[in-house]
Structure 1
Amino acid sequence: MTAVQTLAPSVTPVRRRAVKRRRTGLAGYFFVAGYTILLLAFGVFPTVYAFYLALTNDRGQFAGLNQFVKVAQDYRFVPAFLNILVYLVMWLVSLVVLTVVVAVVLRSRIRPGLSAIVRFLYYLPGALAGVASVLVWLFMLDPSVSPVSWLLRSLGFDSFAAVLSPGDLPVIFVLIAFWTGAGGWIVVMYGALNNISDEVLEAARMDGAGPWKSAWYIQIPMIRKWIAYMTILAFAAGTQLFVEPQLLQTASLGRVSPTWSPNQLAYVYAFQHGDFNGAAAISIFLLALGLLCAGLLVTRSDLFKVDES
């Protein structure tokens, strides 16, 4: 009887901790359940279905790699991917360099109150929907109505058609993407810089490192995982470019190619030619490109490496 009375108080807390752990685990599953369902419904299942379409013909018969060969031999395939490649290089370089530089300046060289106002102003364009932002830029790029028409004319653009010359389209799309997307990433980079201990920066200052040396040798290396994360998501979004060239193609009355980007080419295959199998093959090409580049960035940046304290 004495042994039972001695063990009872020690067993009860153990059981309580076990029940608490079970409840915590169930709560975790509950919170991720919604995302998991959406991921399966709008991510995994469409991808599997795209693979099925890409490996079959319009009668549902297995066709091997025929769909991939067919779309790769299309005369519009290589130009579309070259266009998106040029755009991605310009977009990612400008995004990484400018957002990191702006975030460092806001964190180190501007008073907190003013910095908060500036970050808010940078973020505002990102509140616009993609279509709305393109419409704003259609207005800005037309010399006949643009508030900066003097600048456009000084650069040699006397008409809207001149602005939309094929060689200038990547620059236009980079301007639109940066205007709408950079503000949010500036806020993210600023938050990442805030995680750097003030003691580390103070030690650098005591060693004689100025603001730019501290940024180059300390701040930027310490947020490299955030930079890699931003680059991966920006790359994935960039390969899916569709709204901007599609609206410019409509507004320019056909001056912009309807198959300027791979997504537009897939759209033409699916909804103009009725060839959903070919469209799926193009989407798989884009998926493979995205996974390859994301894998390189993840391995080179140690994105998922756990820092040992």
Structure 2
Amino acid sequence: MFSLRRSPSSFAYIMVSGYVLLLLAFGVLPTLYAAFLAFTRDGTFVAFDNFQRVIADYRFLPAVGNVAAFIAIWLTSLIVLVVILAVIVHAIRVRWLSSAARFVFYIPGALAGASSVLLWLFMLDPTVSPVSGLLRLLGFDTFVDVVGGPNLPVIFAVIAFWAGAGGWIVIMYGALNNISAEVMEAARIDGAGPIATAWHIQIPLLRKWIAYMGIMSLAAGTQLFVEPRVLSQASKGVVGLDHSLNQVAYLYAFRQNDFNGSAAISLLLLVVAAGLAAFFVFRGGLFERD
């Protein structure tokens, strides 16, 4: 029987143990197995041969460019717009209006990735879209015109923002509520307006949350797969099956039966994502104590 002094910490260990077991089973062990496959072939150690082979593949560098363009557009727009919208919603003093705004922002996040893409297939088709006038004004007369090559990073960024921004706005709103009322009152007494208060007080105090959003969104962005996959089927091949790195890894594994090459691509993605996540951690001071 646990003593009263030890019970809280023991209960915490019990609560954490479930997550640790799942992390080991579905995170650490698969990663170790992927690392084994990436450095071997038919059970024989081949060093970096699998990595050299996939990097030399004609599909690899274009896929890298596609994912990089998508992440650059998406992360920039996500960080900037989510922070701005969260500050605006937080500034609304009418309680029901603030709650309604947060609810409306959050609704798209309730849809699964594939459902979001299917909805956007309807929105991006000028023949049936409710914004067909705007699409035609931009020079898009058919669905194929809309999803043409250079437009894809922007389209995927819009879809990802629409599906994921609402949840982050709610999180940022909660973080803004934690800012001391005394600090906000001192800013008002000093004559700071809403913009100055947001720029000099609220946004700096959101730095850790912004870093956390950047890390989680970056991890999701590097896994781009569902959106180009569905658009490829809808456009009858206009969007390639090798648009993203995850798609190339999928082709290696299930079309070419080359799990070693697929593992090499996965490991490269992991290393790059971990490096960028480390940048957000240290630049955002995620683990610094206030």
* TM-score of the aligned structures, taking structure 2 as reference length: 0.98
Q: Offset at 1:110?
A: 4.4
Aligned equivalents of 1:178 and 1:110: distance in 2?
Answer: 26
Aligned equivalents of 2:272 and 2:176: distance in 1?
Answer: 31
Flag structure 1 segments of 5+ consecutive residues without an equivalent. Answer: 1-15
Whether 1:211 aligns to 2:194 is yes
Aligned equivalents of 1:20 and 1:158: distance in 2?
Answer: 71
Aligned equivalents of 1:306 and 1:197: distance in 2?
Answer: 16
* TM-score of the aligned structures, taking structure 1 as reference length: 0.92
Aligned equivalents of 1:29 and 1:140: distance in 2?
Answer: 48
Query: What one-letter code is carried by the residue in structure 2 that aligns with 1:266?
Result: A
Equivalent position of 2:173 in the other structure: 190
Whether 1:24 aligns to 2:8 is yes
Whether 1:273 aligns to 2:263 is no
Q: Offset at 1:116?
A: 0.7
Equivalent position of 1:95 in the other structure: 78
What aligned pairs does 1:152-301 form with structure 2 within 5 A after superposition?
Answer: 152-301=135-284
Q: Offset at 1:175?
A: 0.8
Equivalent position of 1:147 in the other structure: 130
Which residue of the other structure, out of 31, 45, 59, is the alignment partner of 1:47?
31
Aligned equivalents of 1:25 and 1:135: distance in 2?
Answer: 47
Percent identity over the alignment is: 57
Whether 1:129 aligns to 2:103 is no
Residues 144-200 of structure 1, C-alpha deviations (whole Å, 9 max, x = no match): 111111111111110011011000001110110011000000000000000001111
Query: What one-letter code is carried by the residue in structure 2 that aligns with 1:23?
Result: S
Q: Offset at 1:27?
A: 1.1
Which residue of the other structure, out of 39, 63, 75, is the alignment partner of 2:46?
63
* Partner SS for 1:64: coil
2:83, 2:169 within 8 Å by CA — same for their partners in 1? yes
Aligned equivalents of 1:40 and 1:263: distance in 2?
Answer: 22
2:207, 2:285 within 8 Å by CA — same for their partners in 1? no
Equivalent position of 2:88 in the other structure: 105
Aligned residues: 290
Whether 1:114 aligns to 2:114 is no
Equivalent position of 1:4 in the other structure: none
Q: Offset at 1:85?
A: 0.6
Q: Offset at 1:124?
A: 0.4
2:71, 2:221 within 8 Å by CA — same for their partners in 1? yes
Q: Offset at 1:26?
A: 2.1
Runs of 4+ in 1 over 4 A off after TM superposition: none
- Highest Rg: 1 or 2? 1
Aligned equivalents of 2:173 and 2:10: distance in 1?
Answer: 34
Query: What one-letter code is carried by the residue in structure 1 that aligns with 2:168?
Result: W
Q: Offset at 1:74?
A: 0.7
Query: What one-letter code is carried by the residue in structure 2 that aligns with 1:42?
Result: F
Whether 1:37 aligns to 2:21 is yes
Query: What one-letter code is carried by the residue in structure 2 that aligns with 1:48?
Result: L
Aligned equivalents of 1:52 and 1:255: distance in 2?
Answer: 36
Aligned equivalents of 1:71 and 1:205: distance in 2?
Answer: 58
Whether 1:82 aligns to 2:58 is no
Q: Offset at 1:106?
A: 0.8
Aligned equivalents of 1:49 and 1:21: distance in 2?
Answer: 41
